[in-house]
Chains A and B, each alone.
Chain A
Amino acid sequence: MNPDMILIRFGEYTIKGKNRGMFEKRMLQQVKRAVASYTSVHIRQTFGRIYLELNGEPYAEIAARLKDIFGIASFSPIRKITSELEEIRRTAVEVMQSLPKQPATFKVAVKRVDKQFPHDTQELNHLVGGHVLHAFPGLKVNVREPEVELRIEIQPEGTYVFSEVVPAAGGYPYGTNGKAVLLLSGGIDSPVAGYMAMRQGLELEAIHFHSYPFTSEKAKEKVIDLVRRLSHYSGVPIKLHLVSFTEIQTALAQTEHNSLIITLMRRSMLRIATQLAEKVNALGIVSGDSLGQVASQTLSSMNVIGRTTDLPLLRPLLTMDKNEIIRIARQIDTFETSILPYEDCCTLFVPKSPSTNPNLAIAMQCEDSIVNLNEMIAEAVATTEVMKLSPEKPSVAQTTEEDHWF
């Protein structure tokens, strides 16, 4: 089937109450941006829905884009035809034929808005349903739990026929639930945490700690790539704060309690993240912690680490298992980048036996033994490098000289 239109549906919560206007406006913007390069597409908005008239633009490509927009619950490819019985019957069969898998049961659901149409809803059910049954031997009607609902809407401007309902990303439109910062390490978990947070309507700014020369330039590029990928889902550029952690890390590594070093690093990172969050008016910190996965993610560690900030710590992956996280990472296309083998700033200092049950008092003692820790934290915040990243990768080579080589 070559659809003429796409019907986009939003999650119900997006059209409730006072926020409705804001949600709808945001969704319209997102959809507009997603189809901007398809110039013939015409967008029409009605109560809680958006219609895209394709005017010959490719359905499959546009559908792929719609699938990734947060706030869209589902969409349907639609055939728009004239309101004539024969045409409706023929199109009904075509729509059924084009289903990815032929169903065993179906029902016809007619909505007759245009009362001028000569057949009423009951009649039409029979006239169209009977015709479809004829065309598909073995197909049965089940009005209670049909596998497929063949929908026919007779509107004054014409008739819409559709049956397929394609699930989309769901969630809330990007940025409709406030702003948080995301601790992005470059591993598998944190991009997934970012994605889950964004799907819940959070606007994000990412923070990455690097400790050149202990970490390589490539590790930084990997994080840049991950943020670009995430910005595909936000639809707008995402800011990345690159924090130099070398000095703090070196100082922490010289304290006596080797088994606490990861705890201490995390505490300092949270302090920096808190200050950065305040700077950019973010009200929460998102991290990829998953309970028990590594020493710093035991409940006891999280307790000692979390006490450094007053902001809510949001951990979308807390109770997920690793396989589930990997599945999402593959689905959002961050997995391949995440597994590139560049060390993050913890790997070099990771102790042989990191404490899974750190002691808060000892951690605080260690920090007190570093006289200028707070200055170093302030310095790290002040020297943060900020990049604004969008999905399109600019040419990696920088000079115009390199352009002409290609």
Chain B
Amino acid sequence: MYYFDHAASTPPHDEVIRTIAEVMAKHYANPSSLHRSGHEAGNLLERARSVIASAFRGTEPREWRFTSGGTESNNIAITGAARAYSKRGKHIITTAVEHPSVYDTCLALEREGFSVTILPVDSEGVVQVEALEQALTDETILVSVMHVNNETGAVQPIREIGSLLKHRRSTVFHVDGVQSVGKVPIDLQGCGIDLFSASAHKVNGPRGAGLLYVREGIVLEPLYHGGSQERGQRPGTENVAGIVAAAKAFRMAIESQPERTERMYALREQLLACIAEIPELIMNGSMDHTAGSAAPNIVNFSYPGMKPEVIVHMLEQHRILASTKSACSSKSDDPSRVLLAMGASRERASSGIRISFGDEHGATELEWLCQMLRMVVQKLKPLERKE
């Protein structure tokens, strides 16, 4: 099987699977229990926190919370910060291309009485820092911008936004880094990030384990109650085995990031060249990664006039697994909100295909994918829907 859906989820490392099994078998005690076994489980959690803190350089163990994944981290960060700081103001800024766990959370806050500015993006899917600057008001308490887009791989100017917000002490800066960890360099301190979400299953770790970075001094109102775990911000018995394995996966992903990034960009170039040769396909997003606006491992293109699921299913017959838009919303028929925001026509936004690759892929796998793409398009061409 050629698994080209890494942006949706990644195959866990063998070591990760082994860690889960071993920790699960041995450390089943509740880490909050008073007895020695509980204490040992608790120690493992703290060790995982230290591993995470040293992997994300410049952060402290106490600044990390364990969650169930990216969606929960985003919800706790955005709703938690908005409610905690609502006395300062009620204005939130986000972008049109955010993951639903950010976008829909902001819309939900709007119904609670917050005002939300949704920033547009350019044709490559990138937010303009000037637009953000203009949108800021004295009431702005939260800015939430993703690092790498999950559908197109567009990289947002996090550093520039961070330096813009640096002197606005009343504005909290949240970054959804779910797609960026292990793919592009991350410098939480240097970018002035207050809150940062990550998910283990995007870095060959277990599903159901995520991280939320909460910079020292930032207050979050908890979304649910029932315990003092994770400083009361994410109560509930911790998933010890998942967290230990997640720490391992994050550490490995960050350590190997520079080498991976370089390798992936070469594969991206190869795929871009192939798409360029097929006239029916149009690239969505940046063609030139050297400007820093494209992640190395996600490529999105459209076949206007063709339902994208047809392509996905045909590729699958040849053992290639790809996606339409984000996995979270791929079952709906609507055009992609992200592609529409980039100025794509309804037809183009309804026919996006996402290819995302990982460590197991090389030039050979990409070549096979290209061959299959050519073949599929050739077969489908007579069936194109003419407007």
Q: Give A residues with C-beta under 8 Å from B.
A: 216-218, 336, 393, 395-397, 401-402, 404-406
Residue contact B44 to A216, C-beta cutoff 8 Å: no
Chain B residues with CB below 8 A from A216, complex form: 34
* Per-position 1/0 for B51-74, Cβ under 8 A of A: 100000000001000000000000
User: A406 touches which one: B39, B43, B51 (CB < 8 A)?
Assistant: B51
Report 21 cross-chain contacts, Cβ distance below 8 Å, ordered by A residue.
Answer: A217-B39, A393-B50, A396-B43, A396-B46, A396-B47, A397-B43, A397-B44, A397-B47, A401-B22, A402-B44, A404-B15, A404-B19, A405-B19, A405-B23, A405-B44, A405-B244, A405-B248, A406-B19, A406-B244, A406-B247, A406-B248
B268 beta carbon closer than 8 Å to chain A: no
Q: Give B residues with C-beta under 8 Å from A.
A: 15, 19, 22-23, 34, 36, 39-40, 43-44, 46-48, 50-51, 62, 244-245, 247-248, 251
Residue contact B48 to A406, C-beta cutoff 8 Å: yes
- B51: shortest Cβ distance to chain A, in Å? 5
- A398: shortest Cβ distance to chain B, in Å? 9
How far, in whole Å, are A402 and B50 apart by their CA atoms in the complex?
Answer: 14
Other CB < 8 Å A-B pairs besides A397-B44, A405-B44, A406-B19, 13 of them?
A216-B34, A217-B36, A396-B43, A396-B44, A396-B46, A397-B47, A401-B22, A402-B47, A404-B15, A405-B23, A405-B244, A405-B245, A406-B47
- B209: shortest Cβ distance to chain A, in Å? 14
Q: Which residue of A lies closest to B251 (CB)?
A: A406
B interface, over-half SS: helix
Which of A218, A393, A396, A404 gathers most chain B CB within 10 Å? A396
- B319: shortest Cβ distance to chain A, in Å? 34
How far, in whole Å, are A397 and B47 apart by their CA atoms in the complex?
Answer: 7
Q: Which residue of A lies closest to B15 (CB)?
A: A404
Chain A residues with CB below 8 A from B39, complex form: 217-218
How far, in whole Å, are A393 and B23 apart by their CA atoms in the complex?
Answer: 22
How far, in whole Å, are A226 and B34 apart by their CA atoms in the complex?
Answer: 21
- A239: shortest Cβ distance to chain B, in Å? 23
Closest 6 CB pairs of A and B: A396-B43, A405-B19, A396-B47, A406-B51, A405-B244, A406-B248
- A391: shortest Cβ distance to chain B, in Å? 13
Chain B residues with CB below 8 A from A336, complex form: 62
- A51: shortest Cβ distance to chain B, in Å? 28
Chain A residues with CB below 8 A from B47, complex form: 395-397, 402, 406
Q: Which residue of A lies closest to B43 (CB)?
A: A396
Q: Which residue of A lies closest to B52 (CB)?
A: A406
Residue contact B62 to A405, C-beta cutoff 8 Å: no
Chain A residues with CB below 8 A from B19, complex form: 404-406
Which of B36, B47, B247 gathers most chain A CB within 10 Å? B47
- B216: shortest Cβ distance to chain A, in Å? 9
How far, in whole Å, are A397 and B248 apart by their CA atoms in the complex?
Answer: 15
Chain A residues with CB below 8 A from B51, complex form: 406
How far, in whole Å, are A396 and B15 apart by their CA atoms in the complex?
Answer: 21
Chain B residues with CB below 8 A from A393, complex form: 50
Q: Which residue of A lies closest to B61 (CB)?
A: A393
Chain A residues with CB below 8 A from B248, complex form: 405-406
Chain A residues with CB below 8 A from B46, complex form: 396
- B147: shortest Cβ distance to chain A, in Å? 25
Chain A residues with CB below 8 A from B48, complex form: 406
How far, in whole Å, are A393 and B36 apart by their CA atoms in the complex?
Answer: 20
How far, in whole Å, are A336 and B63 apart by their CA atoms in the complex?
Answer: 12
- A376: shortest Cβ distance to chain B, in Å? 27
- B229: shortest Cβ distance to chain A, in Å? 14
- B342: shortest Cβ distance to chain A, in Å? 40
Chain A residues with CB below 8 A from B22, complex form: 401, 405
How far, in whole Å, are A401 and B44 apart by their CA atoms in the complex?
Answer: 12
How far, in whole Å, are A401 and B244 apart by their CA atoms in the complex?
Answer: 13
How far, in whole Å, are A287 and B59 apart by their CA atoms in the complex?
Answer: 33
- B12: shortest Cβ distance to chain A, in Å? 14
How far, in whole Å, are A253 and B244 apart by their CA atoms in the complex?
Answer: 44
- A393: shortest Cβ distance to chain B, in Å? 7
Chain B residues with CB below 8 A from A402, complex form: 44, 47
- A225: shortest Cβ distance to chain B, in Å? 10
Chain A residues with CB below 8 A from B36, complex form: 217
How far, in whole Å, are A216 and B39 apart by their CA atoms in the complex?
Answer: 10
How far, in whole Å, are A397 and B19 apart by their CA atoms in the complex?
Answer: 14
Which of A395, A401, A402 gathers most chain B CB within 10 Å? A402
Chain B residues with CB below 8 A from A395, complex form: 47
